[in-house]
A and B are shown apart, each in its own frame.
Chain A
Amino acid sequence: MVQDLGLLKESASQTAGPYVHIGTAPNFLGTTGVYPEDLGISMVNDKTRGERITITGRIIDGTGTPLRDALIEIWQADSGGLYNSPTETRGAADPNFTGWGRTPCDFTTGVFTFETVKPGATPYPDRRMQAPHVTFWIVARGINLGLNTRMYFPDEEKANAEDPVLKRIEHQNRVPTLIAKKDGSTYTFDIHLQGDNETIFFDI
């Protein structure tokens, strides 16, 4: 026998179900009067520093059908590479940028959209720099544990080539699944849950 480490187990995940909007985006759903506005709908304001961008896309299941009942959260650094969080130890992030966005997919088209700024580069634990990227977290009916992925930028070819996370991916032919398509200031990032183009998901 040995001493007990005294650790608890993380609560097991359960699916967010088809009605995740009730608790996380009631105004989007049409349940008004409980919260003044849904959380995470505005990441920027007039004073936010950095290059304004739009991120849009869909989440596509194994039959090619876009999910219309999913919820997406994104988390990213500000334009200077700092996170707006009490656990950010490297300095103070732009107070006019939340870094966190949340939106349901459209009930008809499945399209999601975030208005944000292009993030700066951030360090890997060994101090190499990571290319600018946006962290995605996806929950929905049929997804038992939230899925984590990252969106990278097509106009950061050099930084992407040096990115420590992208470099550790064995099957380099899958890396393009993490890189958005650019059209002006809009980046389109379609996420494929299955199939030949299955997006890379991370165990973080």
Chain B
Amino acid sequence: MHNIKPETGGFFPRDRNWHPKAYTPDYKTSVVRSPQKALISFPNTVGEITGPMFGHDLLGELDDDLIYNYAKPGESAIGERIIVYGKVLDERGRGIPGVLVEFWQANAAGRYRHRNEGYLAPLDPNFGGCGRTISGEDGSYRFRTVKPGPYPWPNGVNDWRPSHIHFSIFGTGFAQRLITQMYFEGDPLIWQCPIVRTINDEAAIKQLTAALDMANTIPMDARAYKFDIVLRGRRSTLFENRMEGN
């Protein structure tokens, strides 16, 4: 698959002011689910530096096509057809090959296929809402889907989630494990959303907002949105630490 020996250095520390804090009372559920004591730090050990990897043989033919992977033969999911594409990069800007990217979303009406979902918008019988792919040699990935609708959720009396796709990304080390959400350029709901606003830094929110890319649309078929994902970078060991006497 790829012949370059993987890097095995420890990771850059997480910037916990860039990420949302645990306790964010405007997102009410966080109040009783946020640890209140300080996190304990320790240097990366082998268990943080290593992580599970998944082979391409895992993937089914339609895993990266949400328009068809749950549809009955000859049918397809309803909604605005889009391609989402981009790269999985590390903080040094290098593509990370061979990593599993999973995604899930509501249908075009904003309704999830889930037993606990209560929104009155209709289910699409041809839309399951999940997909996955593995990044290529240069870290690139892509999938096809329909644009998810915004939906209301019980938090304030009138809180609506902007259109979004949930992403779960594996790196090459377990300390890179990340779940996040992709938003869509131009959505006025982004800046009103209590979940988006758990993030304090405007630049971090923009980084989660995919750009409409008319240069990569498929004419008469689907528009494209570009969404790069950045995982923690590894320290390169310019000089090794050596124990005394070694």
Contact = CB atoms under 8 A, between A and B. Distances in A.
Interface string A127-138: 100100101010
Interface in B1-58: 6-8, 10, 12-16, 18-22, 24, 27-37, 39-54, 58
A11 B33 contact: no
A185 interface: no
B41 to A, nearest CB: 5
A14 B241 CA distance: 36
A12 B207 contact: yes
B177 to A, nearest CB: 6
Interface stretch (A47-55, A110-118, A144-152, A154-162): A144-152
Contacts of A63: 32
Interface string A63-106: 10101010001011100000111111110000000111000000
Contacts of B117: 19
A141 B28 CA distance: 10
B41 A203 contact: yes
Nearest to B93: A8
A65 B115 CA distance: 20
Interface in A147-177: 147-148, 164-165, 168-169, 174
A165 B128 CA distance: 43
Interface in A20-38: 20-24, 26, 29-31, 33-36
Contacts of B230: 8-11
A133 B42 CA distance: 15
Contacts of B232: 10
B56 to A, nearest CB: 14
Given A142-B29, A146-B178, A193-B33, A8 B52 contact: no
Contacts of B91: 7-10
Nearest to B243: A127
Contacts of A194: 32-36
B32 A62 contact: yes
B102 A24 contact: yes
Given A19-B114, A29-B114, A11 B45 contact: no
A21 B42 contact: no
Contact residues of A: prevailing secondary structure: loop
Contact of A204 (B24, B53, B175, B199): B175
Nearest to A122: B46
Contact of B207 (A9, A67, A84, A174): A9
Contacts of B70: 31, 33-34
B69 interface: yes
A147 B33 CA distance: 11
A97 B133 CA distance: 23
B45 A124 contact: yes
Given A10-B230, A13-B20, A198 B36 contact: yes
A22 B114 contact: yes
A145 B50 contact: no
Given A10-B12, A39-B54, 20 more contacts: A7-B233, A9-B207, A10-B15, A15-B198, A22-B104, A22-B128, A23-B132, A31-B113, A75-B50, A77-B46, A85-B172, A86-B6, A90-B46, A126-B243, A141-B29, A141-B33, A146-B179, A147-B35, A148-B175, A202-B42
Interface of A: 6-24, 26, 29-31, 33-36, 39, 61-63, 65, 67, 69, 73, 75-77, 83-90, 98-100, 107, 122-127, 130, 133, 135, 137, 139-148, 164-165, 168-169, 174, 193-194, 198-204
13 contacts: A7-B233, A8-B90, A8-B93, A9-B18, A13-B19, A14-B195, A36-B60, A62-B33, A122-B47, A168-B40, A202-B40, A203-B39, A203-B41
